[in-house]
Amino acid sequence: MKRVPLIMLLIAGSWSVYYLINTNADNIVIRIISIVLGCIMVSAIHEMGHCLAAFITKIPVYDVGIELYGFIPRGYTKVNLEKASKTSIIAFFAGGSICTLFLFFITLAFNSYHFIQLIALFSTVINIIPLYKNDGYYILRECLRLLEHNK
């Protein structure tokens, strides 16, 4: 497990997108590296969305980054949710998917970013499905707690 600063991942992902679009990358290794770095870039933007939501709702952020499991990136944002309100927690967990969905809509304006569009859309859909413990699960859990509390 290797931790890499988010800014390095954004630079590497941006370079890979630029390289893949502006060259005829016939080499399959270059294409695979570019797609992996694009996935990492989308994960970094997703985690920055969580940080932005935490900043807006005044939830303290202790650590943020991307862990690499082989070639598969997994982002994390460590926060203290003990004193946060239920609506703040919902906003925090929704922030990553909202930011990733925003990236999807921005890339729709450009004709060349099709694989970033697919990665961003896929990441958003996977993250909001509440079947496993990811953002969607925690959003649904807090919504149900909020409804139960209001009864």
Q: How far is CA 11 from CA 69, 111, 125, in A?
A: 20, 21, 25
pTM over 0.75: yes
More confident residue, 15 or 59: 59
Does residue 23 sit in helix, strand or coil?
coil
Buried b (16+ CB within 10 A) or exposed e, 114-124: ebbbebbbebb
Rounded CA separation 113/107 (Å): 6
pLDDT at position 33 is 72
**Identity of residue 29:** V
Structural contact between residues 34 and 24, judged by C-beta atoms closer than 8 angstroms = no
Encoding tokens for residue 127? 């993250």
Encoding tokens for residue 64? 């943020």
Rounded CA separation 47/95 (Å): 8
Q: What strands lie across the sheet with 72-79, from one edge to the other? A: 2-4, 61-69, 72-79
Average pLDDT score, the chain: 80
Structural contact between residues 23 and 34, judged by C-beta atoms closer than 8 angstroms = no
Domain boundaries, the chain: 2-149
pLDDT digits (tens, 9 = 90+) for 20-75: 555 555 666 766 777 777 788 888 899 999 999 999 999 999 888 887 777 677 88
